Structure 1
Amino acid sequence: MDNLNNKDYQKFVEEKIPKPTYARNIILAFLVGGAICTIGEFIMNYLSNKGLDEEAVSSATSIIMVFLGALLTGLGIYDQIGKFGGAGAAVPITGFANSIVAPAMEFKKEGFIFGVASKMFVIAGPVLVYGVSSSIIVGILTILFQR
């Protein structure tokens, strides 16, 4: 091993690096994301059948899905779902709930103010800032170009 040149070393390293399983990851993301969306559809259909109007159904479904994502994160279940499903668990709204709750739980030992409250928006904060900023820019551009 001491007499390896750069080319031999690169070959050795490439042999040892685990090969990515793209097809498996894509299929699992599709299945997990699809399952989460199917649960959302069941909730929407249930609420719609109870007589809520379309806007109330959409709002209530979002609230329930965020609650479920936060609850499952608090119970340690959503992390397992995320490891299994990858982007299929990260992209839906439940993944957003997970991104808020997980850092808060990680720093709860530091107290409510300096732990939970300050770390709650570590990941979600930039998403909110850029989301709001871009919506303001789009709104201004829409007003300017509609005249």
Structure 2
Amino acid sequence: MISKDAYKRYVEKNAPRSPMWRSMTAAFLVGGLICCLGQGVHDGIAAIFPAMSEEDIASWTTVTLIFLGAFLTAVGVYDKLGHFAGGGSIVPITGFANSVVSPAVEYNREGVFFGVCAKMFVIAGPIIVFGVVASVIAGLIGLITEAV
């Protein structure tokens, strides 16, 4: 039987090395570019519709980025971007769109109901549920503290 220390040395010796600096640089650059794209969309909407409120511009920017993330996932581009950029592609809101659309595309062959509808929220479902529950709790706390 091999000891824990010997096994640890074996794993350290034979495990493939991760290109950490390349991965961090790619994640930083791609995540930053996605954020710059979002700022560009925001500024473009503000220039085209100067009377629109800041809140509405932010909402339309979010919708646009989610659409772009979903579209790029559906045509297979976002997966390649994710492979290159790692965490830099999942942190922005486009990564959320990817987490919803990717399982839907993957399970499309199983039909609309049992494939797309059943599997669409496999990854993003827990995040959505946690967000809703946390919002309800925060709202109740705010309501109680305001009443007191």
**Normalised TM-score (structure 2):** 0.90
Instruction: Report the more deviating stretch, 50-59 or 124-133.
Output: 50-59
Range with bigger deviation, 45-54 or 108-117: 45-54
| Superposition pairs of residues 53-64 of structure 1, within 5 angstroms | 53-64=53-64
Q: Give the residue type in structure 2 aligned to 1:32.
A: V
Opposite residue 137 of structure 1, the aligned amino acid is I
**Is the partner of 1:86 in helix, strand or coil?**
helix
RMSD: 1.6
How far is the alpha carbon of 1:26 from its aligned partner?
2.0
Could you tell me which of 19, 29, 32 is aligned with 1:31?
29
Q: Does 1:65 align with 2:61?
A: no
Q: TM-score, normalised by structure 1?
A: 0.90
Q: Secondary structure at the match of 1:123?
A: coil
Indicate yes or no: 2:42 matched with 1:18: no
* C-alpha deviation, 1:125, in angstroms: 0.9
Q: CA deviation at 1:92?
A: 0.6
- Poorly superposed stretches of 4+, deviation over 3 Å: 4-10
Query: Match for residue 75 of structure 2?
Result: 75
3-state SS of the aligned residue for 1:122? coil
Identity %: 44
Greater shift, 44-53 or 129-138, is seen at 44-53
Report the CA distance between 1:8 and its aligned residue: 4.3
Following the alignment from structure 1 to structure 2, what is the Cα–Cα distance between the partners of residues 9 and 127? 37
Deviations 1:65-123 (A, max 9, x none): 11110110011110011111111100111000000000011111100011011111111
Distance (whole Å) between structure 2 residues aligned to residue 104 and residue 133 of structure 1: 24
Pairwise CA distance, 1:56: 1.9
1:80-95 alignment runs, 5 A limit:
80-95=80-95
Q: CA shift at 1:11, angstroms? A: 2.3
